[in-house]
Amino acid sequence: MEKQFVIDDFKLGESWRLFKIMGEFVDGVESLHDLGPAVSIFGSARIMPEDPIYKKTEKIAALFAQNDFSIITGGGGGVMEAANKGAAEAGGTSAGLNIHLPFEQKPNDYANVRLEFNYFFIRKVMFIKYATAYIVMPGGFGTLDELFEVLTLVQTHRIKPLPVILVESQYWGGLKDWIEARLLAEKRVSEKDMSIFQILDDPQEIVAYVKKVVIL
């Protein structure tokens, strides 16, 4: 059985694994460099096709595809599947960046560009490097990890400021309230930092906002 805790493999004499990491970076760059304008869509793998969030994700992805954007997802089920499906049914291009996990994650059938990763950090680089906007659907720890990584990179000017849109105000409103009440009030972040992300609900409004601030 393949080792689950891949980061623990870096022991004395095992530095050859760095070449595997380099290989994953090379595969990602080679596969995605000509994807064109793209949006990365994050969200829960646990959302079922009958869930309204699944349906909304499909619609958002389809609208972006119809407006000449490619879609990038984590390549698995739930929100990821919905986004790849929406893009596919609209005739667009979508990438699925699958991660090897002992549970939950298996590739969906809708991505037409597919990559496999062993390391989360390489996969997250690809989400960010090739996206012109970040669409964050309701999700769990993984989604929060991806969200705050993007916010931190924009805040610290490690990447150029791009649209970061949290979809579903009812879901994300409490997080925004907490950030304002704790982080902003206690000067852990600045007022300017609060403008890094937006919370929107309507698919048409989301696509229109991205088109307004992104030059294709």
- For residue 178, the SS3 value is helix
pLDDT (tens digit, 9 = 90+) per residue, 146-174? 999 999 999 999 999 999 999 999 999 99
5: pLDDT strictly greater than 80: no
3: pLDDT strictly greater than 90: no
Cα–Cα dist 4/1, whole Å: 9
Sign of CA dihedral 168, 170, 171, 176: positive
SS (H, E, C) 115-183: EEECCHHHHHHHHHHCCCEEEECCCCHHHHHHHHHHHHHHHCCCCCCCCEEEECHHHHHHHHHHHHHHH
78: pLDDT strictly greater than 60: yes
5-14, 62-71, 172-181 — which is least confidently predicted? 5-14
pLDDT (tens digit, 9 = 90+) per residue, 53-77? 999 999 999 999 999 999 999 999 9
87: pLDDT strictly greater than 70: yes
| Residue 36 φ/ψ region, left for φ over 0, alpha for ψ in the -120 to 50 degree band, beta for the rest | left
- 201 pairs with which residues across the strands? none
pLDDT (tens digit, 9 = 90+) per residue, 14-67? 677 888 899 999 999 999 999 999 999 999 999 999 999 999 999 999 999 999
Cα–Cα dist 17/154, whole Å: 30
Q: What pLDDT does residue 107 have? A: 86
Sign of CA dihedral 152, 154, 158, 162: positive
1: pLDDT strictly greater than 50: no
> How high is the mean pLDDT of the chain?
92
Q: What pLDDT does residue 103 have? A: 64
Cα–Cα dist 42/79, whole Å: 7
Cβ partners under 8 Å of residue 89, min gap 6: 58, 62
What mean pLDDT do residues 4-20 have? 67
Cα–Cα dist 34/31, whole Å: 8
Q: 2 vs 135, which has greater pLDDT? A: 135
- Return the amino acid letter for 175: L
What mean pLDDT do residues 115-132 have? 93
Domains of the chain (ranges; CATH) run 14-213 (3.40.50.450)
pLDDT (tens digit, 9 = 90+) per residue, 102-113? 665 688 999 999
Ordered DSSP codes for 103-132: SS----S--SEEEEES-HHHHHHHHHHT-S
Q: How confident is the model at residue 99 (pLDDT cuts 50, 70, 90)?
A: confident
**What does the CA dihedral 129, 99, 51, 198 come to, rounded to 10 degrees?**
-20
